[in-house]
Amino acid sequence: MRVAAACNRLLALPGATVREVSSGPAQITVTVALRRRRLACADCSYSSRARYDTRTMDSRWRHLDLGRWRLVIKANLRRIVCPTHGVRTEGVPSARAESGFTRDFEDLVAWLATRMDKSAVRRLVRVAWQTVGATCQRVVADELGPGRLDGLSEVGIDEVSWRKGHRDLTLVTDHRSGKIVWGSEGKDTATCDRFFADLGEQRSAQLTAISTDMGPAFLKSLAKPAHAPRATVCTDPSHVVALATDALGQVRRQVWDQLRAVGPDKAKTFKGARWVLLKRPGRLSEAQAATLRKLRRQGGAAWRAYGLKEALREVFAGDLTPSQTTELLDRWCVKAARSRLEPSVTLAGTIRKHRDGILAAIRLGINNARVEALNNKVRLITRRAYGFHSAQAALALVMLACGPITLRLPHEQTHVRPHSA
Ligand SMILES: [Zn+2]
């Protein structure tokens, strides 16, 4: 194979001629010239033989490392007038528009960001975490297909915080595929309205079920006439269980405060109880199981609240028929209402208020285990996004990890890239 052809393969830049290779202590720079006559717009499929002017733009892209060296490709690009996008620097098949990296480099970074922790990614690819965020945004903009909102029937609308201090994202999940198909910054009624605007009336009318939390913001949007007129609105059971966990947390804190008022020695016996109470009994370590037995012997409010939380989790475990679930849920409400534990009494009231929605979710088989598994994945990935400065970057990472995108590493790419002919 000729050297120039080999370099072209390596750079994934068809139709380029290598003019110069220079190497420094940490970087190899390959200067190429494009041979093709036609100029292509970087943002659409428009191409033309006409240049805008004789000026050339000095462009450079970082490519996949060559051994221990950074590899940078340089080229002088021409300018084109696209009828849609105006005067632009011509696009090249090997890089996305406005990017200082090649596609191969960006695809690798996006793949790593969904699978590896922040410091490992930064150390391996030697770019700032903010740059990783911007890269994720470019890859998502490029890879997310417009058809992802087609044919939806059962969806879940949920919120997740991507940074401390009320930085929230609203995410829409396709319950059938288990993928997140839409997302936006914010968590209010207007955010939810934006989803329906993107969906349009026709696709909105095809929705048969929508699961959501019990907060008023989304419910207000769902109540609007053009928004999913045929859909049954369900309450996601995972939110019910989450509220029971919150109620237990409140009781535990009350008990802790009372014990501390009695004396620090008394409070010590309650130490470590927090995690023991919140964890599922099957997942406790031996020491934690011993703490749990101690709490049971002590009895009292915390133990009763714990019993209520676990009983509610059992109701939604997914192994009961809808009629059994209904019966157990109603019985649970009676028990919680009589518990004399204020947070549990309040929760019983909330569940009674949303009873129809909760039971609709059970009847329609909106799979709680699957929703929870996805929620856990989203939580894990949003924690990684805490280092990003923008909600768009955080959302891009969520879509890369949980959306309908198949990320491929450079050597796995099979599709023909735009303008590659
Ligand atoms: Zn264009």
Determine the distance separating the centroid of ligand 1 and the alpha carbon of 388, expressed in angstroms.
30
Give 378-386's long-range contacts (Cβ < 8 A, gap of 24+): 378/160, 378/171, 378/180, 378/402, 379/160, 381/114, 382/160, 382/161, 382/162, 382/169, 384/113, 384/117, 384/118, 385/133, 385/162, 385/163, 386/162, 386/163, 386/164
Determine the distance separating the centroid of ligand 1 and the alpha carbon of 105, expressed in angstroms.
24
Separation of CA 259 from chain center: 41
Q: Which of 115, 143, 171 is the last residue of a domain?
A: 143
Percent of the chain past pLDDT 70, that is, above it, reads 92
pTM over 0.85: no
Q: Does residue 416 lie in a domain region?
A: no
Determine the distance separating the centroid of ligand 1 and the alpha carbon of 142, expressed in angstroms.
14
Alpha carbon distance 288, 360 (integer Å): 36
Q: Does residue 354 lie in a domain region?
A: yes
Closest by CA to 326, choosing from 297, 301, 368, 362, is 362
**Same domain as 330, residue 357:** yes
Determine the distance separating the centroid of ligand 1 and the alpha carbon of 75, expressed in angstroms.
20
Residue pair 146/407 in contact (Cβ under 8 Å)? The answer is no
Determine the distance separating the centroid of ligand 1 and the alpha carbon of 234, expressed in angstroms.
43
Q: What is the pLDDT of residues 314-360, one digit of tens each?
A: 888 878 888 999 999 999 999 999 999 999 999 999 999 999 999 99
Domain count, the chain: 3
Range of the domain at 247: 238-363
**Same domain as 216, residue 114:** no
Determine the distance separating the centroid of ligand 1 and the alpha carbon of 338, expressed in angstroms.
67
Closest by CA to 304, choosing from 350, 342, 262, 264, is 342
Determine the distance separating the centroid of ligand 1 and the alpha carbon of 103, expressed in angstroms.
19
Determine the distance separating the centroid of ligand 1 and the alpha carbon of 402, expressed in angstroms.
30
- Residue 306 in tokens: 């714990």
Q: Does residue 408 lie in a domain region?
A: no
pLDDT tens, residue order, the chain (421 aa)? 466 666 666 666 667 788 899 999 999 999 998 878 889 998 888 999 989 988 888 999 999 999 999 999 999 999 999 999 999 999 988 899 889 999 999 999 999 999 998 999 999 999 999 999 999 999 999 998 888 999 999 999 998 888 887 789 999 999 989 999 999 999 999 999 999 999 999 999 999 999 988 888 999 999 998 898 999 999 888 888 888 888 888 888 888 888 777 777 666 666 667 777 777 777 888 888 888 888 788 778 888 888 898 899 888 887 888 899 999 999 999 999 999 999 999 999 999 999 999 999 888 887 666 777 888 889 889 888 888 889 999 999 999 999 999 888 988 876 545 444 3
Q: Which of 99, 119, 143 is the last residue of a domain?
A: 143
Determine the distance separating the centroid of ligand 1 and the alpha carbon of 187, expressed in angstroms.
34
